Amino acid sequence: MTNDEGILLLDHLDEMAELLVGSFRRAGFDGPAIVLSEETDLPEGVESVFRLAGEDGSSAPIPGAVRDARPESAAQVRAYRLAHAGWEPGASRFFDQIEMPDLWEVAADGASGRVLDRGRLRARVYYARGGTPRVVGDVDWLDEGGTVRFTDHYDLAGRLCARTTFNGRGERFCRTWLDERGRERVVENYVTGDLLVARDGRLRHYANRVELAVDALRARGLEGQRIFYNSLSTPLFVSERLRAHPRGNVLFWQEPPRDDIPGNMRMILEGRSRTNEVLVQDARSCERLLALGASADYVRPLGFVYGFERKNAGSDEVLICTNSDQVASLEAIVRGLPEMRFHIAAVTEMSSRLLAFGAEKNVLLHPVASREVLARLFRTCDWYLDVNYGTEVRSSVRRAFLADQLVLGLRQTLHRPRFMCPEHVLDDAEALVALMRKLRGSRGLLRRHLDLQRRAALSEGPEAYRRLFR
């Protein structure tokens, strides 16, 4: 696994971390991207430190660990049942392809699933992140009293890769990580914090995740590589324990603005760390750090290499996503722009109040919109209005930004300001309609405002990242 580009070390895989991984890959980075948290539904090209720690060519499990010792005939029956359910090894596993006792049944909707024994709840099924609907991520198995006793964790290749065990009070006790053959490789005790790892025919003990990660990276020949990381917690502690690269390590700071400089960052700014650069991925956070006295010798902004999916065509098609009829000033906006066509989409049923807008000549309603319908709307519309109250619908603001739609919104309904230009956040419907009229009348002006939107979101070219690792 050795490389000369470095290591991308992530605390956990949230949206900002995914954007960082995408930026490195689009810039041509071939080094490992490793997550230090417990997540199992990781996309291709991102590795778990727990799986990395237990990988070897040995057949030895953890001595004394409880494991499934089914005879070959039972394993054949299991393989037959899974194949009959339509699952093949290496493919994502859907909710109706999990293993369960005979005569039990599984039911599901768009949000989650459940396993039933003659109507009695035996397990809850939770879906994995990603674009494919109803793919299994976690399954909570319940005892007779309805308390969770263990959770099965599946990766996106459909493999049962870990199991979390709970005590009688429903509190987490330990998690066991399994290899491709179902053998136990890593056990983390949540009570004591220590870990046991079976690797290369030996049983190793670690006091915490930092020790585990340091040893796993050393075993894979990664010590001395430049480390790019995104958190002042475990990733920083790991980077401080490994031999430094001559160019030093790099922190990608992804937190929102705050009123102080974190203590661990002060260590970096005072030159007492193996990290010598802090790249801030939110424009407001960078301004705030510099205002608090952080040195520009260490701190500078660096955004993301976004994977834009299309170019804005300058059409009059406008998209609004909502899961309720609480849309701010909808009537004023629709009637104030009769020459534009508004697509209102919801993944749920629409109320009679919202359905009444279907009578407007310039409104098209999309109730219970499927993923395919939503994908088509993001491809064909060139404006997005963030004007719905309540929760954001399926990362719609981010999707609109990546589809090069001009994202406009009202201050009281804002969901994702990081993907918007401050000039595009308006106080009322009158100002919103006026801006849309102005931009609609000039293709060049629309393009300039799309450029403002990209700059506000710190959109970078690949070369900005290539300078870091090449």
Give the domain ranges of the chain: 7-55+210-300, 72-182, 317-456
Q: Which of 28-37, 85-94, 204-213, 444-453 has the lowest mean pLDDT?
A: 85-94
Kindly report the pTM of this predicted structure: 0.90
* Residue 138, amino acid: D
- 421 or 180, greater pLDDT: 421
Per-residue confidence (pLDDT) for residue 22, from 0 to 100: 97
Mean pLDDT of 260-278: 97
Cα–Cα nearest to 405, from 393, 417, 418, 419:
419
Question: Six-digit token pair at 342?
Answer: 């508004």
Per-residue confidence (pLDDT) for residue 328, from 0 to 100: 97
Question: Six-digit token pair at 442?
Answer: 């000039």
* Position 1 pLDDT exceeds 70: no
Distances (CA, A) of 321 to 50, 246, 260, 368, 395: 39, 49, 36, 11, 10
Angle, CA of 297, 302 and 304, to the nearest 5°: 165
CATH architecture of structural domain 7-55+210-300? 3-Layer(aba) Sandwich (3.40)
Query: What are the tens digits of pLDDT across the range 161-220?
Result: 999 999 988 899 999 999 988 899 999 999 999 999 999 889 999 999 999 999 999 999
Q: Give Cα 251 distance to the centre of its chain.
A: 19
Query: What are the tens digits of pLDDT across the range 334-365?
Result: 999 999 999 999 999 999 999 999 999 999 99
Same fold, 7-55+210-300 and 317-456: yes
Per-residue confidence (pLDDT) for residue 133, from 0 to 100: 82
Per-residue confidence (pLDDT) for residue 79, from 0 to 100: 56
Helical ranges in 320-461 per DSSP H = 330-336, 352-355, 371-380, 396-402, 429-440, 443-456
Per-residue confidence (pLDDT) for residue 68, from 0 to 100: 46
Query: What are the tens digits of pLDDT across the range 117-143?
Result: 999 999 999 999 876 789 999 999 999
Q: Where are the beta strands (DSSP E) in 87-213?
A: 105-108, 112-117, 120-127, 136-142, 148-154, 160-166, 172-178, 184-189, 195-199, 202-206
Q: How confident is the model at residue 17 (pLDDT cuts 50, 70, 90)?
A: very high
Q: What is the fold, at CATH topology level, of the domain defined by 317-456? A: Rossmann fold (3.40.50)
